[in-house]
């Protein structure tokens, strides 16, 4: 009769692989023209009897081999909320079931302002290739609820050549 001898390194690898298998994977919210937006949720506090507290890390990554751009109409520095063309962010993620009257529930994703203008004089913002944009938000939901996140895109994303 043969005995199975694992040893301490084998046992450690076995236990570690079980831990890694339970690690949370990012959830994909959107994939448009190679721009992928995901989120990763972590419950950070469940001691309150009425709500659970979470943190969400939202990541947007340009998986293309080239930078992507979107344009913003120049204004007087005031973002006009009802006019999508004046927003400097290209998309936003909203936590739909956040608890709290004045609780923050949006993550606005913004590219980097380039030094380029379109032929019409619009500013070009860049989403660089392989340089993720990350933002986090803390929020609460009712006890036992799973956070619901939604995605909205405001800008058309293009290659630089599409503007000239």
> HEC string of 46-75?
CCCCCEEEEEEEEEEEECCCCCEEEEECCC
pTM of the model: 0.76
**Whole-number pLDDT of residue 47:** 92
Report the half-sphere exposure of 62 (CA within 13 A, side-chain side). Answer: 21
Q: How confident is the model at residue 31 (pLDDT cuts 50, 70, 90)?
A: very high
The Cβ of residue 139 has, within 10 Å, a number of other Cβ atoms equal to 19
Sheet with 112-117: list strands edge to edge: 68-72, 123-127, 112-117
Q: What is the pLDDT of residues 81-101, one digit of tens each?
A: 445 555 789 999 999 999 988
Closest to 89 measured CA to CA, from 105, 122, 120, 112: 112
CATH T-level assignment (fold) for domain 25-163: Immunoglobulin-like (2.60.40)
Q: Which two tokens stand for residue 97?
A: 């079931």
Q: Which two tokens stand for residue 124?
A: 């070009």
Q: What is the DSSP letter of 1?
A: -
Q: What is the pLDDT of residues 95-148, one digit of tens each?
A: 999 998 888 899 999 999 999 999 888 899 999 998 999 999 999 999 999 999
Write phi, then psi, for 86 (nearest 5 degrees): -95, -5
Sheet with 27-32: list strands edge to edge: 27-32, 35-45, 51-62, 133-142
Instruction: Give 68: exposed, middle or buried? Use CB within 10 Å, 0-12, 13-18, 19+.
Output: buried
Average pLDDT over the chain, rounded to an integer: 83
* DSSP3 helix / strand / coil % (the chain, rounded to 5): 15, 45, 45
Q: What is the pLDDT of residues 38-68, one digit of tens each?
A: 999 999 999 999 999 999 999 999 999 999 9
């Amino acid at each position: 009769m043969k005995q199975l001898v694992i040893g301490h390194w084998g046992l450690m690898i076995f236990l570690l692989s079980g831990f890694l298998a339970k690690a949370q994977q990012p959830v994909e919210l959107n994939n448009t023209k190679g721009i992928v937006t995901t989120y990763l949720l972590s419950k950070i506090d469940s001691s309150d009897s009425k709500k659970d507290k979470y943190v969400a890390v939202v990541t947007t990554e340009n998986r293309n081999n080239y930078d992507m751009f979107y344009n913003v109409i120049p204004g007087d520095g005031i973002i006009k909320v009802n006019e999508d063309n004046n927003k400097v962010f290209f998309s936003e993620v909203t936590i739909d079931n956040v608890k709290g009257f004045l609780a923050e529930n949006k993550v606005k994703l913004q590219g980097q302002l380039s030094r380029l203008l379109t032929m019409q004089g619009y500013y070009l913002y860049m989403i660089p290739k392989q340089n993720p944009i990350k933002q986090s938000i803390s929020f609460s939901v009712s006890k036992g609820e799973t956070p619901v996140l939604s995605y909205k895109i405001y800008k058309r994303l293009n290659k630089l050549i599409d503007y000239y």
